[in-house]
Amino acid sequence: MRCTDACNKHELGFSVFDRYFENAPSEQQVQTFETISPLFSAAYNQFQLLIRREPLARVNHVKLIMVNTILETIRGLFHNDAAVEYLTLLNEQQTYPVSDVIFVMAQYRALMHRFVKLYYQQGFGVGTGYWKTKEKIKDEGLSEEELGVLDPELPEKKINPVTLMQALLVIGNPFNKK
């Protein structure tokens, strides 16, 4: 059955807001994300530098264990996300070329960027942004419009998830900055 603009909560069985709230991170998840994010970025940047200096270099076991520790934490953080099933860990018993490690880490990086894009609201000044967590949504009663779930010009209509997915397929991956 093709969903049209007439889709609403009754036809779909959920609203976009309900799904957004259900998937919103907890304060603990945000704290873990903020802890692991700089570690991941530092490791990713070091591998980027290494591949520029030595494109054919291989990564040793110690570095693989360190990278896998970070990647396992990220996998645990996003365990409810459907994309996790497509992410792999590195086999610590093998040695990999740096390009393979960067390729695997880039997939995790894309997931992290999507998390920030969905759940972080940038403010107008330095340090004025905030995370849209379950606790914040519940405690402060953030509306669907404040969360960016609804089209601001049509506040009474729910965004059609099928149309949204079709639009994303047409415009491509917004996280790919080429």
Q: Is the pLDDT of residue 52 over 50?
A: yes
User: Domain-by-domain residue ranges, the chain?
Assistant: 14-142
Q: Please provide the average confidence, as pLDDT, over all residues in the chain.
A: 77
Number of H helices, E strands in the chain: 7, 4
Q: Tokens 């645990």 identify what position? A: 76
* Tens-digit pLDDT profile for residues 5-17: 434 444 444 444 5
Assign residue 172 a region: left if phi > 0, alpha if psi is -120 to 50, beta otherwise?
left
**Residue 121, pLDDT score:** 83
**Residue 134, pLDDT score:** 83
* Tens-digit pLDDT profile for residues 27-44: 999 999 999 999 999 999
Average the pLDDT over 109-123 and give the result: 89
- Predicted TM-score (pTM) of the model is 0.68
> Which tokens is 77 given?
């953080």
